[in-house]
Amino acid sequence: MVSESSSAPEGDNTALALKILVAGGFGAGKTTLVGAVSEIRPLRTEELLSQAGTGVDDTGGVDQKSTTTVAMDFGRITIRCGLSLYLFGTPGQDRFWFLWDELSQGALGAVVLADTRRLGDCFPAVDYFEHRRIPFVVAVNCFAGARTYGAHEVSCALDLERGTPVVLCDARDRDSGKEVLVRLVEYAGRMHTARLLDSVG
């Protein structure tokens, strides 16, 4: 979590910037979500899928995908006056997972994007955040033509820890993406407060 003091006149609230990760499987919509909600021009590190990646990158179910993130995406959104979120989108393929440890340093929490056509692809992200006790929400990106599942069904399929939020969203829609981020901030805040109380209890 990163905080920064505002240079605003006396009486104004101190600005708070929170670091959020956006993770999930290959083609789940991470770059799309960051781009949809960011109020600045998002930083993208996308490269065209090449012949060399054939057999390495599983494009089953996402056949129209032509690019992939090779480092990270970055964007920023102001949730309310004095509170901004810095969004770091992680690369989805396992050969780039060495970047995750660096990106997760100081993060308040994470959004794990799930594609019900390839639900198993988000298991590594779920395991990663559970093992590191980083609060996260699962955001089910509702792709056109994909079978619709309820939040409880997804939670059971992913064997999530009790209380982990599952929300349905459209990663292309700014309001939908913003609602996911608000849910995450609220949930992560409760989790961090509970852990703080446990540590002094």
pTM: 0.80
Asked if residues 21 and 83 have their Cβ atoms less than 8 Å apart, the reply is: no
pLDDT at 145: 82
pLDDT at 92: 67
Interaxial angle between packed helices 30-37 and 174-200, expressed in degrees from 0 to 180 and rounded to the nearest 10 = 100
What are the 10-residue block averages of pLDDT along the chain, 201 residues in total?
A: 47 77 91 95 65 52 52 88 94 72 94 94 94 97 88 96 96 97 97 90 65
pLDDT at 112: 98
156-159 contact pairs (CB < 8 A, 24+): 157/119, 158/114, 158/119, 158/122, 158/123, 158/126
Look up tokens 């997760």; give the residue.
104
Structure tokens at 86: 């810095």
pLDDT at 61: 52
pLDDT at 186: 97
Phi/psi zone of residue 46: left (φ > 0), alpha (ψ -120 to 50 degrees), beta?
Answer: beta
Q: Where are the beta strands (DSSP E) in 91-181?
A: 109-114, 136-141, 166-169
